[in-house]
Amino acid sequence: MSRIAYVNGRYLPHRHASVHVEDRGYQFADGVYEVCEVFNGGLVDKRRHLDRLERSLRELFIPAPMSRIALANVLEEVVRRNGVRDGLVYLQVTRGVARRDHAFPPAGTKPSVVVTARRSDRKGQEALAAKGVAVITVPENRWPRVDIKSISLLPNVLAKQQAKEAGAREAWFVDSAGFVTEGASTNAWIVTGGKTIVTRPAESGILRGITRTVVLDVAADLGYAVEERAFTVAEALAAEEAFITAATTVVMPVVRIDGHAVGAGTPGVVASTLRLKFHDFSEVS
């Protein structure tokens, strides 16, 4: 089955899907994106993803490309046309096509929209979660507005490549004060010896992850204590557990940081339980 992409009003074979050479996403990374999990054929937390998309567009003064209902229909149709039962759907909105100039293009320039979907290996992800993953730490070098889900991700790309070359799955950014901010594509968490879950507040310095939001609900329902505060690399290394969250990973246990074992060096009960219960609390539609 050939893949299908949506590009500016048309459903096209993936190999023929393209954007204009003067699309501002291509020339300036002037756009935003969302990645939504597909679980058993349904979109996970679609409402929350569209809420965040609208916020990102407002923060960058990019007009909505279409109504919320129409955009939701496009996401669902791309998933359907690609026959995705378990996987991801990717949505990107840019400021549109215009003559190259740093300032905004003329009023009325239509935003560009691209949507793609792909399958993922759920069994493979579960096997990975059963083993846990490694992360490395890298200096924070991103722009301050990481609360906007911008397509400008070059520092994240370099961090991910550094992690890959080190045999790790993720890189955690560390600020100048020595505190972990977040991963290159995930939110970062630790669990203390007293079974308290700790993650950095989302008011500044990190993206307010949709999976992060749901995990907080799961943790509260299960009776776990949660502290939204910054934590250091040293505290993470001394933690009983660590994990990362994102639509691409759900809850993924971290068993090594910079080559050092976290806790017993195996996935812990808190992270594993949060992963097991996650889809009982997320909105699947």
What's the pLDDT tens digit per position in 209-262?
Answer: 999 999 999 999 999 999 999 999 999 999 999 999 999 999 999 999 999 999
pLDDT number for residue 2: 79
109 vs 79: CA distance, rounded Å: 28
pLDDT number for residue 1: 61
Give, to the nearest 10 degrees, the angle between helix 46-59 and helix 210-222.
Answer: 130
What's the pLDDT tens digit per position in 154-193?
Answer: 999 999 999 999 999 999 999 999 999 999 999 999 999 9
Does the annotation count 123 as an active-site position?
no
Catalytic residue, chosen from 149, 160, 164, 277, is: 149
CA angle 188, 163, 236 (to 5 degrees): 35
Both tokens of 132, joined, read 């846990």
What's the pLDDT tens digit per position in 263-272?
Answer: 999 999 999 9
241 vs 268: CA distance, rounded Å: 6
How does the average pLDDT of the chain come out, rounded? Answer: 97
Is residue 122 over pLDDT 70?
yes
For the full predicted model, state whether its pTM sits above 0.85: yes
